[in-house]
Structures are given as structure tokens and as C-alpha cells.
Amino acid sequence: MSAGSLTILVIDENRIRASIIEAGLRDAGHRHVTVVHDVAGIARRIAEIEPDVIVIDLENPNRDMLENMFQLSRAVKRPIAMFVDRSDQASIEAAVDAGVSAYVVDGLKKERIKPILDMAISRFNAFSRMARELEEARSELENRKVVDRAKGILMKSRGLSEEAAYALLRKTAMNQNRKIAEIAQSLVTAAGLLGPLEGE
């Protein structure tokens, strides 16, 4: 996605600071920049604007305000660059936990906006990819367990070898145009409803 096509939302109650961020973004070639000065009802505004990236600038954030922004970042699942004037270790850790892609303390300068934004996007993408791969691996492991259980049920109830049980699952899946794991899950569920099989 090119710089010009990104939709960027800037959240900043301070108009002067917001104009610095906006100028930095426009200098970097970003044309779709929306600035919001009021954080009240911000979740609804985000839903309306559907930004690709969010830049939050908090001049003197108190605990509640930071917590609200962290909750927001957990909810929106988008790259977020957050600028704060000052911070403590607990807030930095909370920002990381909340999924803030770039948390910048005392770093609001026009020329720093673009590299920080780029970093936020690449970090977010890397993190999302990692999370997706982890979920796929977890799902793959679950599927394998279910298929193994289904094979065990077929081997016991039909006296099949492991290869024959798997072949039957695969054939059924092909006939029904479904995944093997789905067929296996149906079989495991059905076996659970029918009660323990002999010898189980």
C-alpha cells in the first residue's frame, strides 16, 4: 500500500501539536489525513473513518486517559503510533501489552513522524503475521489430535488398521467435499454422544 493511499487518523486534543503531525504526514506524501481533537466518542469516529493507521498524541496523559487509549488499541486491531510527553516503565509495558505498535516518549518532531509511522506499520504487520501463524499452528495441532482420535474410534469399532482408518476418513471427506478434520470432529462428537465404545 503506497503512502498516498493510506487513511490516517490523528487523535490530538492540542491543535498546534496536531498540525505538526499533520504537516509531517503530508510532507511524507500522505493525503488522506483526518484530525480529531476530541477523544469523546472516538470509537465511533474510528468506525466511521476506518483508518489504516492511527496516530495518538497525548500531551500530559494521566493514568485513565492512557488506559482508555490502550483499550482502544486492543479493540481496533490497527497499527497505532502513540506519542507521549513523558512516561514511566509501567505505562510503556502497558502500551506493549495493549498492542501499541510504536510508543514514543518526547519525540514529536515533524521529521520523525514518517519513520515512526513506517515502523509502526511494519511492527504491526510482523506481529499480526506472527499471531496468525501461531493460530494456524495451534489449529493444525488441534486438527491432528482430532484426526488421531477419530482414527482410534474407527480402528476399535471397525477393526481397521491405522492406514485403513485414515483412508476411510479421507474418502469420506472427499465424497462430502469437506476437510478431513471436519469429518473427524463429527465422528468424535458422534462417538461421544453414543457413549464409550467397547474396550475404550
Domain ranges of the chain: 3-108, 138-194
> CB within 8 A of 101, min separation 6: which ones?
79, 80, 81, 119, 120, 121, 123, 124, 127
pLDDT, residue 199, reads 45
pLDDT digits (tens, 9 = 90+) for 68-117: 788 887 778 888 888 888 777 888 888 878 778 888 887 778 787 888 88
Res 200 pLDDT > 80: no
Q: What is the pLDDT of residue 164?
A: 93
Phi, psi of 59 (to 5 degrees): -70, -60
Binned at pLDDT 50, 70 and 90, residue 174 comes out as very high
* CATH number for the segment(s) 138-194: 1.10.10.10
Instruction: Grade residue 182 by pLDDT with cuts at 50, 70 and 90.
Output: very high
Residue 132 corresponds to which cell in the numbers above? 496468525
Burial class, 84, CB count within 10 angstroms (exposed 0-12 / middle 13-18 / buried 19+)? buried
pLDDT at 2: 54
Max CA distance (Å), the chain: 77
Question: Left (φ > 0), alpha (ψ -120 to 50) or beta: where does 106 sit?
Answer: left
Q: Which residues, listed in sequence order, are joined to residue 69 by a DSSP beta bridge?
A: none
Domain 3-108 fold:
Rossmann fold (3.40.50)
In percent, how much of the chain has pLDDT > 70?
94
Helix (H, G, I), strand (E, B) or coil at 80: strand
- As a whole number, mean pLDDT of residues 18-30 equals 87
140/4: higher pLDDT: 140
- Give me the pLDDT at residue 83, please: 85
In whole angstroms, give the CA distance from residue 103 to residue 111. 16
Q: Which three cell numbers, joined as nine digits, stand for 79?
A: 497499527
- Name the range with the highest mean pLDDT among 31-35, 75-79, 82-86, 171-175: 171-175
The Cα–Cα gap between 117 and 24 comes to: 10
Mean predicted lDDT score pLDDT of the chain:
84
More confident residue, 1 or 122: 122
For residue 38, the Cα-to-chain-centroid distance in whole angstroms is 26
Please tell me the predicted confidence (pLDDT) of residue 24.
87
